[in-house]
Amino acid sequence: MNTGFLPITKQEMLDRGWDQVDFVYVCGDAYVDHPSFGASIITRVLEANGYKIGFIAQPDWKDPKSIDVFGEPRLGFLVSSGNMDSLVNHYTVAKKHRGTDAFTPGGVMGKRPDRAVTVYCNLIRQTYKKNAIIIGGLEASLRRMGHYDYWSDSVRRSILLESGADIISYGMGEHSIVEIADALNSGLDVKDVTFIKGTVYKTRDEDSIYDAIRLPDFETIEADKLAYAKSFAIQYKNTDPFQAKTMYECYGGKTFVVQNPPALPLTELEMDDVYKLPYMRAYHPSYEAAGGIPALQEIKFSLTSNRGCYGECNFCALTMHEGRIVQARSHESIITEAKQMIEDPDFKGYIHDVGGPTAEFRAPACSKQMTKGACVGKRCLYPKPCINLNVDHSDYLKLLRKLRKLQGVKKVFVRSGFRFDYVVADKNKDFLKELCQYHVSGQLRVAPEHISNNVLSKMGKPGVEIYNEFVKEFEKVNEDLHLNQFIVPYLMSSHPGSKLEDAIMLAQYLKKNHISPEQVQDFYPTPGTVSTTMYYTGLDPFTLLPVFVEHNPHKKAMQRALIQYWKPENYDLVKEALKEAGREDLIGFGEECLIPPRKMTYTYKMGKRGDKKTDAGKKAALASSKSSNSKSGGTKHNSHDKNSHKNVSKHDGFKENSARKKNDKARDSKSKTRRKR
């Protein structure tokens, strides 16, 4: 096997003694040879199996010659948009253009097209009419059948038909990509490669499709939302590699898109083999002058320990992409990678993360999953943990202990999302204790997403009482350890099921618990999720019962503003929302009020020694602020109380982690309390 980066030019190909590559990999991301990048894994796996790969990163989609770097490949083209869906990469949930692209040199936006997989495939077809094209990655995987597309607000055909590709390798592709390559290498025509798990192909011969479920025709789901919801439910229930059936969808009465069952999960040995391949763990040196690849900085010193998730949040596409069965690497494999990381001259002693989709999942949910698969129609954690669920943090805890003992490691952080309901379900609290003691940097990010059980039920998340129990346990552990650490909750607005009263309930909860989130995520309807189906159809795909969905942009803005009710720029939206909901009782100066009866026009200029107010009406504002403090038992929020900075921030999402700095920061808390009011 060759060492170094894969060739990105014809000269580099020739320097290796090759006159032709077997596959050309076309990618929407810049070339980063690191196992956190799917393109890197797939190309290294193919290389390990004896195939020659040329890499074309971010070709000029307006120039057909940009695809012709290596000439015609012997076996075919591999196409991916990169680590992200190109449309999510380009647009916010409000469909506004993002300013930067973390997967492009220097973070420059605009180096890849919208719908990159389709555009690249069409570009290839302009020159190479008959060569095999295999598409994969997140963008292709989650558009493998007819799907609702948020950006065009329409139901679109399978990306296999839109792109003109021959095969989709969906989900985790290590097994399927090698099987596809071997089939093509044996001389099979790509049109005959119809038997591989984890792939989608197209045919005009319905009789050739064996033992399969026929989904509603595309024209039916395009016209009928009920049919769309039913079709999605069938697909969702056939995501388990041990139980799933082949499914197919008809287009125009003539063309059939056929999805084979998912590929089997990797064994521990196979996972280890994937991660010991000779990755350069860096971006290509040709990007140095442009400032490198920002996305690499986020994960360069992080360790992937697992994949798959049985948490099944409805707004997450992991079930459709990675599956519910957790696969993990051995401790030895992870320790070996950590030692390689320590030798990097840029390593400063901090391992930024150890985890995956969910940090602490290190094994399947129960013993039967690796032989019989995950239960159809049942969830491991929702609405409460299954009685067969193996709740055990011990293996993950042993791994963390080994990592923090490595010479050269100062701190090992856990920043992957972990399931707080799984932590609560574990009767042994050693994990939470050691997490707080060794693996938190003052703030622990968790994802309750909401606190209204009405909304949480549509998210597939546990009830707020479980989150409250976790908060209580977290605070007790930190108190015992004499640590002043905070929870920073991830929250989501306008998820299907969320009405204005739910958003107000969340705002009240935040006010009561002194939580001031600096970041809020609006629900983003991306392909492949249960929640997106709810958003489009207004139906729960499993029960077919109606689900409220807020589509009005202004009312969505009101829900979002309520989560940050304390921001002056949100005042008008919050006041409008409260009036519309008949909750004028929350407008005033009382302890439970969210906003005052009038918008405060003064601003604060914060300084180290105090604050200055600039406004003709500052005296009235001060009087109002004092009145508010006296009504709400002001000592709890008043900076004159020596413990006030602790009380205000204990269960807190304040952007600053300044409560630990006792002097100047404590004096500032008084002015911040006034600003919130």
Instruction: Show me where the domains of the chain are located.
Output: 10-201+255-259, 301-441, 469-600
| pLDDT surpassing 80 at residue 199 | yes
CA distance 172 to 42: 9
Residue 600: the pLDDT is 67
What confidence category does residue 298 fall into, taking pLDDT thresholds of 50, 70 and 90?
A: confident
pTM greater than 0.85 (yes/no): yes
Average pLDDT over residues 468-482: 97
CA distance 608 to 613: 14
CA distance 360 to 343: 26
- As its CATH architecture, domain 469-600 has 2-Layer Sandwich (3.30)
| pLDDT surpassing 90 at residue 637 | no
The CATH code of domain 10-201+255-259 reads 3.40.50.280
Residue ranges of the annotated binding site are: 309, 313, 316
Q: What's the gap between Cα 170 and its chain centre?
A: 17
Q: What's the gap between Cα 553 and its chain centre?
A: 23
Q: Which helix (H) or strand (E) element contains residue 186?
A: none
| Residues of the chain above pLDDT 70, percent | 88
- 301-441 and 469-600 agree in CATH topology: yes
Beta bridge partners of residue 489, listed in sequence order = 446
pLDDT, mean over the chain: 89
118-167 confidence digits (pLDDT tens): 999 999 999 999 999 999 999 999 999 999 999 999 999 999 999 999 99
Cβ partners under 8 Å of residue 649, min gap 6: 486, 514, 659
Average pLDDT over residues 270-291: 96
Average pLDDT over residues 217-224: 98
Beta strands in 494-600 (DSSP E): 521-522
- Minimum mean pLDDT range among 223-237, 343-357, 602-616: 602-616
3-class DSSP state of 32: strand
Average pLDDT over residues 333-352: 96
Cβ partners under 8 Å of residue 527, min gap 6: 85, 142, 143, 147, 148, 149, 317
Helices (DSSP H) in 310-463: which residue ranges?
318-321, 331-342, 369-372, 394-404, 420-425, 430-438, 453-459
The CA-atom distances, in angstroms, between 246 and each of 133, 250, 371 are 22, 14, 19
Beta-carbon-side half-sphere exposure of residue 33 (alpha carbons within 13 Å): 23
Residue 2: the pLDDT is 61
| pLDDT surpassing 50 at residue 204 | yes
Instruction: Please check whether residue 145 is in contact with residue 87, taking contact to mean a CB–CB distance below 8 angstroms.
Output: no
Preceding amide of 383 cis, omega within 30 = yes
Q: How is residue 484 written in tokens?
A: 């002043």
Cβ partners under 8 Å of residue 279, min gap 6: 33, 34, 35, 40, 44
Cβ partners under 8 Å of residue 463, min gap 6: 383, 453, 456
Q: What is the largest CA-CA distance in the chain?
A: 85
Backbone angles phi, psi at 7, to 5 degrees: -65, 140
Residue 601: the pLDDT is 56
CA distance 487 to 447: 10
Q: How is residue 622 written in tokens?
A: 């001060």
Backbone angles phi, psi at 136, to 5 degrees: -160, -170
484-500 confidence digits (pLDDT tens): 999 999 999 999 999 99
What confidence category does residue 13 fall into, taking pLDDT thresholds of 50, 70 and 90?
A: very high
Q: Which residues of 199-227 are buried (b: 16+ CB within 10 A; e: fewer)?
A: bbbbeeeeeebeebeebbbbebbbeebeb
Beta bridge partners of residue 91, listed in sequence order = 97
What confidence category does residue 624 fall into, taking pLDDT thresholds of 50, 70 and 90?
A: very low
Cβ partners under 8 Å of residue 320, min gap 6: 141, 142, 235, 236, 239, 528, 529
Residue 441: the pLDDT is 86
Instruction: Please check whether residue 557 is in contact with residue 563, taking contact to mean a CB–CB distance below 8 angstroms.
Output: no
- Minimum mean pLDDT range among 1-5, 606-610, 622-626: 606-610
- As its CATH architecture, domain 301-441 has 2-Layer Sandwich (3.30)
The CA-based angle 630-636-639, given to 5 degrees, is 90
What confidence category does residue 37 fall into, taking pLDDT thresholds of 50, 70 and 90?
A: very high
Beta bridge partners of residue 249, listed in sequence order = 257
Q: How is residue 376 written in tokens?
A: 């159809």
CA distance 304 to 295: 15
438-451 confidence digits (pLDDT tens): 999 899 999 999 99
86-124 confidence digits (pLDDT tens): 999 999 999 999 999 999 999 999 999 999 999 999 999
CA distance 476 to 484: 11
Residue ranges of the annotated binding site for [4Fe-4S] cluster are: 309, 313, 316
